[in-house]
Amino acid sequence: MKSIFDNISNSTSKSITKAYSTSFSLATKMLHKSIRQDIYNIYGFVRLADEIVDSFHEYDKVILFDRLKKDLDLALKEKISINPILNAFQNTVHTYGIERHLIDSFMKSMELDLSKNVYSTENEYKEYIYGSADVVGLMCLQVFVKGDASKFNDLKDGAMHLGSAFQKINFLRDLKEDYDDLNRTYFPNTNLDALDETSKRKIILDIESDLNKGYQGIVNLPVEAKFGVYMAYRYYKRLLKKLNKVPAIEIKNTRIRVANHKKIYLLTRSYVKYQLNLVN
């Protein structure tokens, strides 16, 4: 029966989330169970594309990514895929009416990572972030509002700013890996070989602006989603605080993390604030 395969597909996406990101997995667990699996399904898909371009160095990434694009297109058209990750994702797409242009924008940014190493202009930088992060936030938002177009339009600006903030923090955290291992630099007009405090502060101020705008969207989210997204916000805000304390010259040599016990502490503190109705 297909229901058995669908359950396996869902389990695969959940396993990918847990294996690749303890922080995102923890935040997703805080979502209401009615939408939790669909966020796993979105994460499983975006993680698959990201791993192809970032990790599968022993294989022809162009061929693998092209195969993913074709399989994705078939999955969305036929509403089934023998790839369990795509099968789970297409089900979420069709359940909530996730718009195809969001998916296409994401795939466009991922494909850029196969050939583009430097983002020299602000427009290039913003376009990449829109496709790699903002649209993922918008996909999740369509799940959070359960396909309600009016609510989606009211909240999409905040979701995009939150997606941008999370991605920029990832860029700053992964600066060493992206630059040394993948030969990529995303921040425009920034000399990463001589990153100074002024450049670092400019980047952090930009991220803080996105976080603040994103927070305004969190307070208006449906109750099923609010605490989980707030938990992710708190985690990234703590990570940014740690990055801010690291000297600029060390950013490229140190990958900053939030320890697991600190994540549990954040969860507890976030839950208390949420229960006291302080997320407003």
pLDDT at 96 over 90: yes
The predicted-structure confidence for 77-89, as pLDDT tens digits, reads as follows 999 999 999 999 9
Question: What mean pLDDT is predicted for residues 173-189?
Answer: 80
Residue pair 119/126 in contact (Cβ under 8 Å)? The answer is no
Residue 213's pLDDT band, with cuts at 50, 70 and 90, is: very high
For the chain, first and last CA: distance in Å?
A: 46
The predicted pLDDT at position 82 comes to 97
CB 106 within 8 A of CB 132: yes
Q: Given this model, what pLDDT does residue 95 score?
A: 97
pLDDT at residue 189, as a whole number: 74
- At residue 14, what is the residue type? K
Give the pLDDT score at 253.
Answer: 74
Q: How far is CA 137 from CA 32, 73, 79, 96, in A?
A: 17, 21, 23, 14
- In 3D, which of 132, 50, 41 has the Cα closest to residue 84? 41
What phi and psi, each to the nearest 5 degrees, are found at residue 118?
A: -125, 135
When pLDDT is cut at 50, 70 and 90, the band that residue 166 belongs to is: very high
- pLDDT surpassing 90 at residue 132: yes
Nearest in space to 26 (alpha carbons), one of 44, 12, 40: 40
160 has pLDDT over 90: yes
Top-confidence residue, 101 or 1: 101
Contact, 62 vs 54, CB < 8 A?
no
Segment 142-168 mean pLDDT: 95
Q: Which of 269, 279, 36, 27 is nearest to 143 (CA)?
A: 36
Phi, then psi, of 143 in degrees rounded to 5: -70, -45
For residue 214, the model assigns a pLDDT of 96
Structural tokens at position 230: 């707030």
For residue 258, what pLDDT is reported?
A: 60
Q: Are 45 and 121 in contact (CB under 8 A)?
A: no
Q: Mean pLDDT lowest for which of 171-180, 251-260, 267-276?
A: 267-276
Round to whole Å and give the CA distance between 136 and 247: 31
Which tokens in the block code for residue 203? 């980047």
Provide mean pLDDT across the span 1-12: 94
pLDDT at 262: 54
Burial annotation 71-82 (CB, 10 A radius, 16+ → b, else e): ebebbbeeebbe
User: What is the band of 177 on the pLDDT scale with cuts at 50, 70, 90?
Assistant: confident
Higher pLDDT, 261 or 125: 125
Indicate if the pLDDT at residue 180 is higher than 60: yes
The yes-or-no verdict on residue 49 having pLDDT over 60 is: yes
Asked if residue 152 has pLDDT above 60, the reply is yes
pTM: 0.90
Cα 161 from chain centroid (whole Å):
12
Q: How confident is the model at residue 265 (pLDDT cuts 50, 70, 90)?
A: very low
Instruction: Tell me how far apart the alpha carbons of residues 74 and 95 are, in angstroms, rounded to a whole number.
Output: 17
Domains and CATH numbers, the chain: 2-275 (1.10.600.10)
Q: Which of 14-23, 53-62, 128-137, 248-257 has the lowest mean pLDDT?
A: 248-257
